């Protein structure tokens, strides 16, 4: 009985050590990594928490490409859910220390993240407008509402893999004339 219990604990420890250990992506990680644009695009980012994007659809024809339509308080609302743990990649750097990260196949559908001083300089979702209960973000060229709590979603990274991206280098052997 005791041996079975110990083997079970050992198996759990071994299996849990196989997966990536995700760490919040912070300004300090960004500066220490000294990542260039190409390196940032090769780092796999993950989302710390769910983000739910909502926008009210106006009358007339509506065309929904991704997401779903819901009826909320008698209004048609388009909604896109990006679940916690969703992998994403950097598609561009809009300036400064901001990163545009796409969690979909289209480079046009991205969210912008940047260091948040109130959260230890973690890269959190950036909004164009902050209100008491929600924030406004741009996604796919359209304005969307995000609940206030969702705006604290953080970019996560497997630090070991991110550091290996920056360390990859080689030395040219030179070329001589025959």
- The pTM (predicted TM-score) of the whole model is 0.73
Q: What are the C-alpha distances in Å from 81 to residues 103, 104, 133, 145, 150?
A: 10, 11, 18, 12, 11
> What is the distance of C-alpha 153 from the center of its chain?
8
String of DSSP letters for 2-38: HHHHHHHHHHHHHHHHHS--EEE-BHHHHHHHT--HH
Tokens for 69?
A: 């339509």
Share of the chain above pLDDT 70, in %: 70
Average pLDDT, the chain: 79
Neighbours of 160 (CB within 10 A): 10
Identify the CA nearest to 158 among candidates 24, 30, 48.
Answer: 24
What pLDDT score does 13 carry?
Answer: 40
Neighbours of 118 (CB within 10 A): 8
What pLDDT score does 61 carry?
Answer: 47
> What is the distance of C-alpha 151 from the center of its chain?
12
pLDDT in tens, 50-109: 999 998 876 544 454 455 555 556 668 888 999 999 999 999 998 878 999 999 998 999
């Amino acid at each position: 009985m005791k041996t079975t219990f110990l083997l079970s604990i050992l198996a759990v420890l071994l299996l849990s050590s196989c997966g990536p250990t995700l760490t919040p992506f912070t300004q300090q990680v960004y500066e220490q990594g000294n990542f260039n644009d190409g390196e940032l695009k090769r780092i796999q980012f993950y989302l710390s928490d769910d983000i739910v994007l909502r926008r009210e659809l106006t009358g007339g024809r509506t065309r929904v490409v991704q997401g779903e339509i819901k009826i909320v308080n008698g209004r048609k609302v388009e909604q896109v859910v990006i679940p916690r743990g969703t992998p994403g990649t950097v598609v561009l750097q809009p300036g400064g220390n901001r990163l545009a990260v796409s969690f979909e196949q289209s480079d046009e559908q991205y969210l912008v993240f940047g260091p948040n001083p109130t959260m230890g300089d973690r890269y959190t979702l950036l909004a164009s407008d902050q209100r008491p209960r929600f924030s406004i973000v741009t996604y796919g060229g359209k304005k969307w509402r995000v609940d206030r709590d969702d705006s604290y979603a953080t970019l996560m990274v497997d630090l070991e893999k991110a550091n290996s991206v920056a360390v990859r280098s080689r030395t040219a052997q030179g070329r001589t004339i025959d």
